[in-house]
Amino acid sequence: MTVLDSPRTAQNTAQNTAPNSEGAPNPDAVQFTFQDMQLPAPLRRAIDALKYTVPTEIQALALPPARAGKDVTGTAATGSGKTVAFLLPLIERLLARPDNLTRRGTRALVLAPTRELAAQIEEVAQSLIRETPLKVVSIFGGVSQGPQIKALRAGTDIVIATPGRLLDHIGQGNANFSGLEVLVLDEADRMLDLGFLPDIRRVLRALPAVRQTLLFSATMPDSILKLAGEFQVNPVRVGVRHQGRTNDKIAEALFPVHGELKAKLLIGLLADAEINMDSVLVFTRTKHRANRLTEQLVTAGISAERIHGNRSQNARTDALAGFKSGKYRVLVATDIAARGIDVDSLGHVVNFDVPVAAEDYVHRAGRTARAGKSGTAFTLVSPQEEDEIRSIERFTKRTLNRRLLGDFDYHAKVEGKLEQPRPEGGHGRGGRGGQSGGGHSGGGHSGSSQSRGQGQGGRSQASGSASSGQGGAQGGQRRQGAPSGQSRPAGNDVGGGRVGPQPARRRR
């Protein structure tokens, strides 16, 4: 059975010829190899050990101005090498000033929207500085502040942080940014979203005004660029002005299905030998859906874990490590992890729920087909999610192909509702048989935080997924027997009903 088309023919993917804002080959892209860059010897050896030879498109465009000390705004698809594009010139700059190596205080700060992304950036940085005297630390919530305080007070050279925890340390007087030389905002569209902007401004007030500032992201709408102008001086703009595209090596397909049959369809896709989905990242709309779906997968004999904001940092780290090692075949995640999961060999991404924001579709799909490899991105779409699909197609400027899974009973009887939350402690079985759900942190806020994170006003997710039984019961009555052609249900519909525009993000 053929369920998808082949990956699109790559366009403008020559390693050293990057597209400009109109999509044509960029004449300013400089052709060079990493070996041509005359990097400091320790950095050059690290590059060789990582087997980096020819820069990716965004690296070829961003490295020259960044190495020259200019402010840079870089836009490129997720998985295209943005992390190296800002870390390499940053590290080279710090090594080029040996008189500063003995100074106490942080010299470079990288801000990231999620814990997972901060940890991922630290991992790359560690591989690049291993033969240098530089030190790096990641700062984020969910773990003890003790080691972070020690690292900050010792003057760690490179700090990678989420805004919330960093502000805690700034308020406590633990950080010394008087000698800061470089500021990086990774995933800048999220960092400058209304939810993060106040925190970013507070962090900026603690930094020197004279510095190099680099902004990188997979998408960069004009409204965000206007805000970014507050933080940069005459920045060099590189990459694609309006990205809105997934990687050409990703084969995409839509699977139309009634919302309440999504779990069964996903299990069917995982069982299909021809598709051969060996390592799969699945995105759900809410934390409760992630918990319930993981339970159903494990019940079906599929090794699975979940990662979301209500789990402790240790639980999230263990889940991600188990997924990378192959212990878990499936990792179920909410969008909090969409930009922080980096698995080079990940072959498949599944949108169990269609993302409300079209940009998030690009980011989710971008978890696969990394480092030049190919991958697939499946989306399970209910009738109530067709508006979101149309928005995605307008944003990506392409029509997504629709497919059906052979031998699947699209009229099967539904057993149980996916969006009926249980206490977090009962979800530990979802990822590991018999494990307690001790990974929850801040459980008392799960209902209210879900409301803030997924809906607004009358469409609040709390009405269906929090503990307000009346709203959930009424929603269940509406769902039973409602033809797919009727008007869309409220946001608590198990089929992924529209939940409205996303409000400001919670502090990570």
User: When comparing pLDDT for 5 and 307, which is higher?
Assistant: 307
Could you read off the pLDDT of 309-357 as tens digits, one per residue?
788 878 888 998 899 889 999 999 987 655 567 776 788 999 999 998 8
CA distance 61 to 63: 6
Alpha helices in 260-312 (DSSP H): 262-271, 287-299
Are 326 and 308 within one domain? yes
Nearest to 19 by CA among 76, 68, 67, 65: 76
Are 259 and 111 within one domain? no
Judge whether 480 lies within some domain. no
Are 101 and 208 within one domain? yes
What integer is the mean pLDDT of 71-84?
84
Sequence-distant (6+) residues with CB within 8 A of 240 are 19, 20, 21, 23, 75, 76
Q: Domain ends where: 408, 431, 462? A: 408
Report whether 366 contacts 396 (CB < 8 A). Answer: no
Judge whether 59 lies within some domain. yes
pLDDT at position 137 over 90:
yes
User: When comparing pLDDT for 25 and 258, which is higher?
Assistant: 258
Q: Domain ends where: 357, 385, 408? A: 408
Report whether 164 contacts 124 (CB < 8 A). Answer: no
Are 215 and 125 within one domain? yes
Q: Max CA-CA distance within the chain?
A: 73
Question: What pTM, to 2 d.p., does this model score?
Answer: 0.66
User: Mapping DSSP to helix (H, G, I), strand (E, B) and coil, where does residue 324 land?
Assistant: helix
Phi, psi (degrees; rounded to nearest 5) at 469: -60, -35
431 class by beta-carbon count within 10 Å (0-12 exposed, 13-18 middle, 19+ buried): buried
Judge whether 224 lies within some domain. yes
Judge whether 141 lies within some domain. yes
Q: What is the mean pLDDT of the chain?
A: 76
Judge whether 455 lies within some domain. no
What integer is the mean pLDDT of 458-481?
38
Nearest to 138 by CA among 161, 163, 108: 161
* pLDDT at 337 (0 to 100): 58
* pLDDT at 28 (0 to 100): 53
Nearest to 307 by CA among 280, 287, 333: 333
Alpha helices in 341-382 (DSSP H): 358-365
Sequence-distant (6+) residues with CB within 8 A of 395 are 244, 358, 359, 361, 362
- Using CA of residue 347, residue 353, residue 354, residue 360, what is the dihedral sign? negative
CA distance 50 to 127: 8
Judge whether 357 lies within some domain. yes
Domain of 136 in residue numbering reads as: 34-239
Nearest to 12 by CA among 50, 62, 60, 53: 60
* pLDDT at 389 (0 to 100): 95
Are 226 and 124 within one domain? yes
pLDDT at position 495 over 60:
no
Q: Return the amino acid letter for 314.
A: N
Judge whether 289 lies within some domain. yes
Are 330 and 212 within one domain? no
Selection from 95-104, 379-388, 448-457 with the highest mean pLDDT:
379-388
Are 214 and 352 within one domain? no
* pLDDT at 61 (0 to 100): 94
Task: Extract the tokens encoding 75.
Answer: 């836009």
Are 213 and 269 within one domain? no
Return the HEC string of 451-471. Answer: HHHHCCHHHCCHHHHCCCHHH
* pLDDT at 372 (0 to 100): 64
Q: Domain ends where: 204, 223, 239? A: 239
What integer is the mean pLDDT of 384-394?
94
pLDDT > 70: what percent of the chain?
69
Are 257 and 316 within one domain? yes
Residue 496: CA atoms inside 13 Å, Cβ hemisphere, count?
A: 27
5 class by beta-carbon count within 10 Å (0-12 exposed, 13-18 middle, 19+ buried): exposed
Are 169 and 74 within one domain? yes
CA distance 430 to 304: 7
Could you read off the pLDDT of 89-134 as tens digits, one per residue?
999 999 997 666 556 789 999 999 888 889 989 999 999 999 999 9
pLDDT at position 480 over 80:
no
* pLDDT at 78 (0 to 100): 66
Judge whether 466 lies within some domain. no
Report whether 351 contacts 281 (CB < 8 A). Answer: no
Sequence-distant (6+) residues with CB within 8 A of 9 are 248
CA distance 467 to 486: 27
Report whether 5 contacts 251 (CB < 8 A). Answer: yes
CATH of residue 322: 3.40.50.300
CA distance 239 to 19: 7
Are 199 and 260 within one domain? no
Phi, psi (degrees; rounded to nearest 5) at 239: 100, -155
pLDDT > 90: what percent of the chain?
45
What integer is the mean pLDDT of 29-50?
89
> Strands, DSSP E only, in 353-481?
375-381
* pLDDT at 392 (0 to 100): 93
**Helices 262-271 and 287-299 meet at what angle, rounded to 10?**
50
* pLDDT at 194 (0 to 100): 52
Are 332 and 358 within one domain? yes
Count of domains observed in the chain: 2
* pLDDT at 187 (0 to 100): 85
Quick one: how far is CA 278 from the chain centroid?
Answer: 21
CA distance 203 to 199: 6
What integer is the mean pLDDT of 167-186?
95
* pLDDT at 214 (0 to 100): 95
Count of residues for the chain? 508
Could you read off the pLDDT of 211-242 as tens digits, one per residue?
999 998 777 777 677 777 888 999 999 985 44
* pLDDT at 205 (0 to 100): 92
User: When comparing pLDDT for 460 and 76, which is higher?
Assistant: 76
